[in-house]
Every structure is written in C-alpha cells, then in structure tokens.
Structure 1
Amino acid sequence: MLTSALGALRRRIGNVHTDHRRIARGAVIVSLFVFLGKGTGAFKEMAVAYRYGIGETVDAYQLALTLVSWLPLTLIGELSILLVPLFVGLRDKKEELTQFLAELEGLCMLLGVGLMALLLVSWPLVAHFTASNLSEHTRTMCLHLLMGLAPVGILSFTVCITAARLQARERHITTLLESVPALVLLCFILALPHPDSLLPLMLGTSLGVAMQALLLRIIARNVDGQTARPRLSFRSPHWGKILHSVSMLMVGGVIISMITPVDQYFLAHVGNGAIATYGYAFRVLTLFTGMGALAISRAILPILAEMLAAKDATRARDTALKWSFVMLVLGAVGAAIAYGLAPWIVQLLFQRGAFTADDAEAVTLVFRTGLLQLPFTFGGFVLIQLFVSEARYRALTFIAVVSFLVKAGGNMLLAPLYGAHGVMLATGLMSVAAFVCYIICLKQPGAVAPQGGSEE
C-alpha cells in the first residue's frame, strides 16, 4: 500500500511541468541562501542589541540608514525588476549588453552621488520633518551617521545592476552575498566594543556594502563576460524603453517608498525607543519574508520573462496565479509557527547585555503583530513579478495608492493608541488590501508589452 502510494507520488512529481520545477528549484536555492544570509544578519542584530540595546544610538542609526537608502532603494526596486527581463532578452546580444551596461553604470553612479549630496545639504529640513520629536543628541548622531553611511546610497545602484545580471542567468548567489554587509558590520561591532562609538556602525555598514558590490561585480563578470566600465552617454537603443518604463513605475514606487519615512515619522512622535523596537521586530520579520516572498519572486521572474518573450501570456498568468496561492498557504503556515515561537526567537536573538527582558517583550508584541502581513506578502510578491512583466503599470500605481492610503490611515488611527505595535498592525492591513487589489486587477485584461516596453 505504502509502496503504491509512493510510486503514485513519484509519477505525479515526474509529470510536473518543467517551468514549475525550475521555479521550485530556484525558490529552494534562494530560500537556503536567504536563511544563511539572514542568519548572519540575525547575529549582527544580536551584537547591536547587546552593545547598544534600545536607545538613542540605535534610533539614530536606523533613522540615518533609512534616510540614506530611501531614494536609492526606491529607484532600485523599480529598476531591478525591469532589468531582469531586459537582460534575459539580451543574453545572445553581447555588444548591445556591453554598451547598455556601461552607460547604466555611469548614470547610476552619478545619480547616487547627487542624491547623497542633496540629502546632506538638506539635513536641517529633513531633521525638522523626520526627527523633530527626538532629542538634540539623537539628531546630532544621526547627522554624523548620514555622512559615514553615504557610500551605502551610492553603491546600492551597482549592487542592483550586478544582481540583476546574475538573476537573469538564474544564478542566485547574489542572495547569499546580501549577508556580506551584515557580516562585516558584525566584525566591526565585536572588534570595536565601545558602546558610545558610532564608528563601528558607520565603517561596518559602508565597508560591508562596498565588499558586497566588489564580489558581485567579479562573479557577474565571470558569468556573462561583461566588464561594465562606467560611461556617461545615452547611445544604447534600450534607453527609451527603460526610461519610459521606469518613469511609469516610479509613480507607484515613490508612493510605496513613502511608507518607510512615514513610519519613521509616526514612530519618532511616539518617543525614544519606538524606532528601535520597531526596527528589531522588522528585521526578524525580514528573515521570514525573505525566505518566502523574496525567494519565489527572484526564482519566478526570469521564467515569467521567458514565457512573455515567447508570447505565451496565458501560461505566464496561470503559472503566476498557481504559485501565488501556494505561497499564500505557505505564508499562513509560517506565520502560525512563528507566532508560537516568537518569544523564544526574540529572546534568543536579542536578550543579552543592554537588551533587557522588558525590551524583548516589547519587540515580541510588535513582531507577532507583523506576522499578519506574511501570507499576503508571500502571495503578492508573485503577482508583482507578473504585473511588471506584463507592463501593467497603471494597475500597479492604483494598488500603490490604495496601499499607501490604508497604511497612512492605519498609522494615524493606531500609532497614537498602540505605538510601534499600531504602526506594525497598519502594515498588516496594508498587505491584506494590496493582495485583494492584485487579485481584482488580475481578472481584468492587461496589455502584455515587450521586454522593457510600456503599457498600452
């Protein structure tokens, strides 16, 4: 009986379409790399909690890191999902790829320097809007950290481009290398143990991102043979499609990116320690979202791009919808397990040194609230890849507006009542609303554009 059942299961697995096998294999590999990478990040967070606890230094560091990475990550988030389908289409066009990469690297380097300079020049205005409720000492530390973390904003673009090159070739080592900044920061915190010094945070974060960028560039060059020396010109024929697509996506991307500084604003008005509490809980959540949502999105995007390049939109939609509901179920199961293990996870990661039992209880409450978003984030990430591949930018913009309104409204209502717990609850409600919108929009016919094209 058992042998017959196993035989039937083996035959069903053998009959699974090769696309699903590739997606599953890629997702498993990325999940493993995410686990290893986020594990390194967890050790880093343990070291930060042990050395600094929940206080002004961590508030200043997390606010500075948010400000430095906000605009670059907004652009990167939109650019990376456009670059992967484009690089898939240019696999056999080496000269076109060489020219476009060189010009893209040059533009992004110039853009990164400009954004960081603008942030530092406008700091008094930024501080007024984002940190007015924090102490003067915290704001001063934040300014010093902004100067030390400026390389992060510049190098983020290089990391994005080289990661997209590897993802287009279905090489998922880029996910593992995301642990490099955390590993370097961990080493600096342990090597420079002064609890009042900002130097470990500045040097560890900036040098870690620099090392990640260097390793990615070396690996990408070995995979696709491209050196990608930066060049300031716009001669590539692909600029028109990419710039139009980025401009369309940026509308929704900027709206969504505003959520992070809005959260920081509400948390800062809660008082000292709220930003740190939320930050610790959020970083534990990223371990789970990375192993699910990040893994499936990176595994499925190149394959959806291949289907759409072959003009097989029906198969692409069917594949995406199936995997979206699979990930929704997996996310629900993962959230239930994580909810039960939450106190043990937080205590294991953080409760030592300056991080007390009361701090652990506060972080656990926020973390448990954040688990509401897990299944909907898992399922939604799959559909995002499909919508971008189909160039359904109007639908994405509409969903971004709805998400922001739900999030902002939730913050206004819940943050004054529940503090960091309320801000995280608003994030969960936003994820539910966004997933519902994806399903509704998916039923509507959408334009399927060429790689890097625009919505009709």
Structure 2
Amino acid sequence: MKFSLEIKDILKASSVIFLFIFLVKIFGAFKEIVIAYKFGVGPVVDAFSFVFAIVQWPITIFTSIMTAVLIPIIHKIARETTSEKELFYKEVFALTILFSIFILIVIYFTFHFLIHYNVFQHSLFQIVFLKYLIFYIPLGFLIALFSVITMANQKHINTLLELCPSLGVILLLGCFDTYMSLVYGILVGSFIQASVLGVFLYFKKELFLPQISCTSPYWKLFFTASGIVLLGQFFMSGITLIDQYFAATLASGSLSILSYSDKILGLFLSLATIVIGRSILPIFSKIHVHNTDILKLLVLKISSGLFLVGIILSVFISLYATDIVKIIFERGAFTFMDVMKVASFLKLSSYQIPFFLSSIVLSYSIISQRRYWVIAWSGFFAFCCKLFFIVIFMNHISGLELLAYSTTFVYCFTSIYCLGAIIIKKN
C-alpha cells in the first residue's frame, strides 16, 4: 500500500511539472523560431550560442550541485529550530552572491585571455555578447538557489517561471530588429524570474537577508557532498563545451546548426530530464530508506520502459527530421538549405535518446542513495569517452557527424555504467 502511494506521488508531481515544463518549452521553441526568422544560420547565432554556452556552464554545474546536495539538507533543517534554519539560509544566500561574482570575474578575464592569444576563432559579435551576457551569471546563480529552495518545499512556481527568459527574447526581438535584443531579452527575463522567486520565498519566510559568515553546523555536510558532486558535473558539463569548441573550428554556421538541432532535441530531452528529476528524486530517496530491493526493481522497470520510449522517439525523429525542422524554422532568413543542414544533424543526434532517458533514471537512483562518488566517476569517464571517440574517429568521421556519434557513445556508456553500479551494489 505504501509503495502504491509513492507511485501515486510520482505521477501527481510528474503531471504538474510536465504541464509547466510543456508551457516553458512552447515559449522556448517559439523563441528559437523568432531567432531563426531574424538571423537564420550565420555569425550572429554562432556567436550568441558560443558565448551563452560559456556563461551557462558554471550555472549548470551550480544548479546540479544545489539540487543534489541542498534539498536533503533543507529537509533536515526543517526539523530544527527556526534560528538554525534562518542562519543557514542567510549564509547560503551570501555565499551564492559572492561565488557568482567570483565566477563572473574568472570567466570574463579567461575569455579575453584566450582571445588575446588566438586560442580559438572569434568574432566581434562574441566580444560584444560577452560584455553583457556575463551579468547573466549572478542572475543564474540566484535563480538556481531560489528554485532549489522552492522545490524542496514541494512548490513548482520555479518551473513555470523558467519561461521568463524566452518571453523576454521574444518580446524584445519583436519590438527591436537588432541582435542585441537577444542579450537584453535574456537579462531582463532572468531578472524578472529571480525577482519573482525571491519575493515569493520572502513572503513564505524561506528567504532572508544575506549574512557573510560560515557558522552553521550544516556547512561541513554541504561542502563534503558538494565537492564530490562538483567533480562529476564539471566533467559532464564540459562535454557541452567540447562540442561548442569543436563546432567553432568548423565552417561558419556549424555552431548555429548545432544550436538549432539541440533546441529541437531539447524539447524531448530536457523535458524528460526535468520531469523525471523533480518528480522521482524525492520519491526514490524515501523508498531507499524502507526497501532497497523494491527501489532496484522499480528503477530497472522505469529505465527499461523509458529506453523503449526513447527508441520510438528516435525512429520518429529520424523519419521526420526534415519535416520537423521545416515546420519549426523555415521562414525569413532560415532557408531550405538551412533546413537540410539542421535536419541532417538532428537525425544523427536522435540516436542518443534511448540511452539518455534510461541513464537519467539510473543516475537519479544512485543520487537518491547518496552514492555521490559513483556519479562523480560517471562524469569523469563520460568526459574521457567523449575525447577518446573524437580523437580516434576524427580522421574517419567528418564535421558535425563526429559530435553526434560521440554524444550517443557517451550516453550509451553512462547507461551501462550506472546500470552496473545499481545491479552489483550490495544491500
């Protein structure tokens, strides 16, 4: 009976999150349609995709760490006195602000250092975009913190508010026909998202003024777990940077093709990641406490089911990639030749879907058991697999095809690795 209730909790949480994420993805897809209409495949989208990937990288790592580490701590603090909770919230708020400013400075000067020594091909667009997009880093860090606190309290307003950056870009591109609308739209939308979340948490008494100190007894637990998770996320998120860097060395428009294809694929993959992660992680954690055998059986069934769903999606996208890209993007500056280029890469990229979906469930099961070192090694091995595949097949597979095949290889390895870690674990 208790197990049935947990399944119902998963379905209930998943349905609410799915609805919100679906709306977010609709706005995100429309944003990409507007960008494609205005700029097509070219240097503007190349530069924006490259710079945004750089500033998004530390935010992605920070968000993953906070989700995996902070939520269990928040649940533990909930049983303590109000003063203990308030102290930790104040200190983690201050730490987030200071750390985001530090990362902002490091990213800015590192980027200019690489440009100065011609480490990669760059354009004036990239330099201009970085000048403003760098301020997305502190906004992204605050949004990550506020979102995790909101999720820990089983609220989902943070998920719905994720449409703000896309809405900002859509509105500004609609009003002003300039490439800077991309940057201002992201910044304005993110500022609104962070502000609304902050006000919501303040009135819920879940947010307090920051206090620069580190006296809470929970910091030891936080830093220990964070260090391990950071290793894994550093390498996993580094895979995206490898793709961006490799694509930047190819012909003009390669980054645009990669970006447009990822956006379409992201409609499926990120939707699955968010819904699965935000709905099953708390439930898996509860089941693990009571019965690890039931958890293992449940995880294997869900991952197998999603693997089959992934095969169906992969076949569907492979068959109708051209039609999908044509319907979404072919208008304005986005020509039929652009459609064929993006569709060709999208077909190859769709092969990763079955392995990606199953690996998400398997990895969250491991996280729910607090086996952070397993996840850390998973990220390291995945990063090595990416580099290994590119180096070995660089002379045999050309251009963007190499990136598509290497990503599929990475997720295939990750699925097998996580599955093995679950099966061989002793109770």
Common topology (TM > 0.5)? yes
| Deviation at residue 415 of structure 1 after TM alignment | 5.7
| Deviation at residue 128 of structure 1 after TM alignment | 6.4
> Measured at CA, do residues 329 and 218 of structure 1 come closer, stay the same or move farther in structure 2, by a change above 3 Å?
farther
Q: Does the 8 Å CA contact 1:369/1:424 hold for their aligned counterparts?
A: yes
| Deviation at residue 287 of structure 1 after TM alignment | 0.6
| Deviation at residue 116 of structure 1 after TM alignment | 0.9
Unpaired segments ≥5 residues, structure 1: 1-13, 448-456
Partner of 1:334: 313
Q: Within the alignment, does 1:114 sit opposite 2:102 as a pair?
A: yes
Structure 1 window deviating more from structure 2 (428-437 vs 409-418): it is 409-418
Alignment of 1:240-255 (within 5 A): 240-255=220-235
Q: Does the 8 Å CA contact 2:96/2:145 hold for their aligned counterparts?
A: no
**Secondary structure of residue in 2 paired with 1:445:** coil
Partner of 1:445: 425
Q: Within the alignment, does 1:395 sit opposite 2:382 as a pair?
A: no
Structure 1 CA distance for aligned equivalents of residues 165 and 126 of structure 2: 20
Partner of 2:262: 282
**Secondary structure of residue in 2 paired with 1:228:** coil
TM-score by length of 1: 0.87
> Measured at CA, do residues 45 and 17 of structure 1 come closer, stay the same or move farther in structure 2, by a change above 3 Å?
same
Partner of 1:410: 389
Q: Does the 8 Å CA contact 1:170/1:302 hold for their aligned counterparts?
A: no
| Deviation at residue 338 of structure 1 after TM alignment | 2.9
Q: Within the alignment, does 1:147 sit opposite 2:134 as a pair?
A: no
> Measured at CA, do residues 226 and 397 of structure 1 come closer, stay the same or move farther in structure 2, by a change above 3 Å?
closer
Q: Deviations over 1:294-345 (max 9, x none)?
A: 211110112223344x454444434333322232222222222333332222
Partner of 1:377: 356
> Measured at CA, do residues 315 and 82 of structure 1 come closer, stay the same or move farther in structure 2, by a change above 3 Å?
farther
> Measured at CA, do residues 33 and 409 of structure 1 come closer, stay the same or move farther in structure 2, by a change above 3 Å?
same
Q: In structure 1, what residue type is equivalent to 2:215?
A: R
Structure 2 CA distance for aligned equivalents of residues 214 and 95 of structure 1: 25
Partner of 1:11: none
Unpaired segments ≥5 residues, structure 2: none
Partner of 1:218: 199
| Deviation at residue 270 of structure 1 after TM alignment | 1.3
| Aligned counterpart for 1:208 among listed residues 150, 170, 189 | 189
> Measured at CA, do residues 90 and 68 of structure 1 come closer, stay the same or move farther in structure 2, by a change above 3 Å?
same
| Deviation at residue 130 of structure 1 after TM alignment | 8.6
Q: Does the 8 Å CA contact 1:266/1:411 hold for their aligned counterparts?
A: no
Structure 2 CA distance for aligned equivalents of residues 333 and 173 of structure 1: 32
| Deviation at residue 16 of structure 1 after TM alignment | 7.2
Structure 1 CA distance for aligned equivalents of residues 315 and 86 of structure 2: 47
Q: Does the 8 Å CA contact 1:351/1:360 hold for their aligned counterparts?
A: yes
Structure 2 CA distance for aligned equivalents of residues 199 and 383 of structure 1: 41
Q: In structure 2, what residue type is equivalent to 1:85?
A: P
**Secondary structure of residue in 2 paired with 1:270:** coil
Structure 2 CA distance for aligned equivalents of residues 47 and 264 of structure 1: 22
> Measured at CA, do residues 113 and 88 of structure 1 come closer, stay the same or move farther in structure 2, by a change above 3 Å?
same
Structure 2 CA distance for aligned equivalents of residues 361 and 245 of structure 1: 45
Partner of 2:408: 428
> Measured at CA, do residues 66 and 415 of structure 1 come closer, stay the same or move farther in structure 2, by a change above 3 Å?
farther
Structure 1 CA distance for aligned equivalents of residues 423 and 340 of structure 2: 43
Structure 2 CA distance for aligned equivalents of residues 40 and 128 of structure 1: 37
Structure 2 CA distance for aligned equivalents of residues 77 and 446 of structure 1: 27
**What is the RMSD of the two structures over their aligned residues, measured on CA atoms?**
2.2
Structure 2 CA distance for aligned equivalents of residues 130 and 322 of structure 1: 50
Residue identity over aligned pairs, in percent, reads 23
> Measured at CA, do residues 340 and 131 of structure 1 come closer, stay the same or move farther in structure 2, by a change above 3 Å?
farther
Structure 2 CA distance for aligned equivalents of residues 181 and 354 of structure 1: 23
**Secondary structure of residue in 2 paired with 1:48:** helix
Partner of 1:453: none
Q: Deviations over 1:375-409 (max 9, x none)?
A: 22112112222222222122222222221122122
TM-score by length of 2: 0.93
